[in-house]
């Protein structure tokens, strides 16, 4: 049995305002007020897990323990098949200290050229969600969406690697889509459907 979320306040264990905004939009129908870890001045824990779910748990538990509130974390990344799944859990690190995803996206293109990947541009976005309670209980879910790495980058919407990802069956990148359209097919939407089905009372 999954534990139900019955509160109105939820700490989002992230300092990424784009991610916090997107999570808020996905939970809008449940009357949940998202508060970011950044707004509360919570430090970012060291993410030394070896999977998306492990890192999501680290962040959610740290926020729940420090805030005393139920906390939700999202650990997501971009995986390119021809690069053996890189950047994967290191997706944010590839953007460097300045979080410049333009550099990260160009690095993927350069590595694909070096690897002689040719037409193999298959890629996916993965999202792990962890809901953590101050008593240490957690609920975790993982979503994924497949598509292709697109170069050059296209679109101004979204954030992170959105400008270089075209989902299967589409002719536009995530960064060219309106948020409402992206929310219906994204990796985060997939993980949220699982979370809502399991933990939010009907």
Catalytic residues: 75
User: What pairing do the DSSP bridges indicate for beta strands 33-36 and 71-80?
Assistant: unpaired
Question: Would you state the torsion angle of the CA atoms of residues 87, 88, 94, 95, taken in this order, to the nearest 10 degrees?
Answer: 130
**Is 166 in contact with 146 (CB distance < 8 Å)?**
no
Contact status, residue 188 vs residue 143, Cβ threshold 8 Å: yes
CA distance 172 to 67: 40
């Amino acid at each position: 049995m999954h534990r139900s979320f019955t509160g109105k306040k939820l700490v989002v264990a992230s300092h990424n305002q784009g991610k916090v905004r997107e999570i808020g939009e996905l939970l809008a129908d449940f009357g949940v007020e998202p508060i970011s870890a950044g707004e509360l001045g919570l430090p970012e824990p060291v993410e030394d897990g070896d999977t998306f779910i492990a890192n999501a748990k680290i962040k959610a538990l740290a926020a729940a323990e420090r805030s005393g509130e139920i906390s939700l974390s999202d650990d997501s990344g971009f995986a390119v098949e021809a690069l053996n799944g890189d950047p994967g859990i290191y997706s944010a690190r590839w953007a460097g200290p300045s979080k410049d995803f333009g550099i990260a996206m160009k690095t993927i293109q350069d590595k694909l050229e070096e690897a002689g990947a040719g037409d193999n541009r298959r890629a996916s976005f993965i999202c792990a969600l962890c809901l953590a309670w101050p008593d240490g209980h957690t609920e975790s879910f993982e979503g994924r969406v497949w598509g292709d790495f697109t170069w050059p980058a296209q679109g101004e919407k979204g954030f992170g690697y959105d400008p270089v990802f075209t989902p299967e069956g589409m002719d536009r990148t995530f960064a060219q889509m309106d948020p409402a359209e992206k929310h219906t097919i994204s990796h985060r939407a997939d993980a949220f459907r699982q979370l809502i089905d399991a933990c939010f009372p009907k």
